[in-house]
Amino acid sequence: MMKENVELLLNQQVTHELYSAQLYLSMSAWFSAKGLSGFAKWYYVQSYEENAHAMIIYNYILKTNGRVVLEPIKAPPHEWDSVLDVLTETLKHEEFVTSKIYNIVDVARQEKDFKVDQFFQWFVNEQVEEEDNANKNIGKYESMGMDGKALYLMDQELGTRVYVAPALLTTMEA
């Protein structure tokens, strides 16, 4: 049986992941309004991915006879000063999520909840990818500068992203 404090953290992480989905959907809408459809698509796909993360944890709680307790999700921002502002906030947000996942792993280890520790290794690895993507997007943008042609090319590149459901989601259905 999962310890109460671990279950609480997992439920909180579901909320964090759902907020992430809302945040990235808001960013997608902002990019759409700016005419940057490639950026908008990238963030739209990111929103789907974050929602999938929430559902993976949700299903895990249910599969381990835990109780899912959903909490309110605060409204995400909807205005940013610039493309770089969005990219920077993305990295900052992913670093926040990483800290929450590390905390879950730390508490699970303290509680000797080896199942949760093992399960969350997927999320630890996922966060490496999330932060790497955010850093790469910032790096590309900064190296290209404010040149309109370069922004157009980056927008085209980001628009090629497609959503692929994590295998873990398909194996954890409730």
Question: For 36-88, how does the pLDDT look when each residue is reduced to its tens digit (9 = 90+)?
Answer: 999 999 999 999 999 999 999 999 999 999 999 999 999 999 999 999 999 99
Q: Please name which of 41, 48, 52 lies closest in space to residue 169, comparing C-alpha atoms.
A: 52
Examine residue 125 and state whether it is found in any structural domain, yes or no.
yes
Indicate which CATH number applies to the domain containing 129.
1.20.1260.10
* Predicted pLDDT of residue 148: 87
Q: What is the mean pLDDT of residues 131-141?
A: 96
Examine residue 83 and state whether it is found in any structural domain, yes or no.
yes
Examine residue 56 and state whether it is found in any structural domain, yes or no.
yes
Q: Above 60 in pLDDT, residue 174?
A: no
* Contact by Cβ (8 Å): 142, 28: no
Examine residue 114 and state whether it is found in any structural domain, yes or no.
yes
* Predicted pLDDT of residue 173: 55
Examine residue 174 and state whether it is found in any structural domain, yes or no.
no
CA distance 139 to 155: 14
What are the distances in angstroms from CA 136 to CA 19, 96, 111, 132, 141? 23, 18, 36, 6, 8
Question: For 84-105, how does the pLDDT look when each residue is reduced to its tens digit (9 = 90+)?
Answer: 999 999 999 999 999 999 999 9
CA distance 146 to 144: 7
Domain count, the chain: 1
| Helix and strand counts by DSSP (H, E) for the chain | 6, 0
Question: For 137-158, how does the pLDDT look when each residue is reduced to its tens digit (9 = 90+)?
Answer: 999 999 986 788 999 999 999 9
Q: Above 80 in pLDDT, residue 161?
A: yes
Mean pLDDT of the chain: 95
Examine residue 129 and state whether it is found in any structural domain, yes or no.
yes
Examine residue 169 and state whether it is found in any structural domain, yes or no.
no
Which domain covers residue 119, as residue numbers?
4-161
